Amino acid sequence: MSTCQAWYLYVVECADGTLYTGISTDVARRIVEHNAGRGARYTAARRPVSLRAAWRFSDRLSAMQAEHLFKRRGRRAKERAIAAREGFRDGIWQARL
């Protein structure tokens, strides 16, 4: 019997005001890792980080595709998506630029 594990696209704000985007099955654990300097090289030098947003996906591929699309956006578009709680559908970004 196989179980499906949810994956999350998450966005954190670093101490210097920059945004970092990643994927994980456990967002709370990743935030702890980022703040301990073990999460990613980028965030290790910009601690502490705080969670800004997270979106749930049914599989890793969908989360990775969403991450790629989110990272292609500019800062203002990312901020609008976070503020509006803009969603995803079937791993595809529902763009409202």
- Domain ranges in the chain? 7-93
Count of CB atoms within 10 A of residue 58's CB? 13
The confidence score (pLDDT) of residue 88 equals 54
In this prediction the pTM is 0.85
Per-chain mean pLDDT for the chain: 87
What pLDDT is attached to residue 97?
31
What would be the CATH architecture of the domain defined by 7-93?
A: 3-Layer(aba) Sandwich (3.40)
Distance CA 60, CA 84 (A): 24
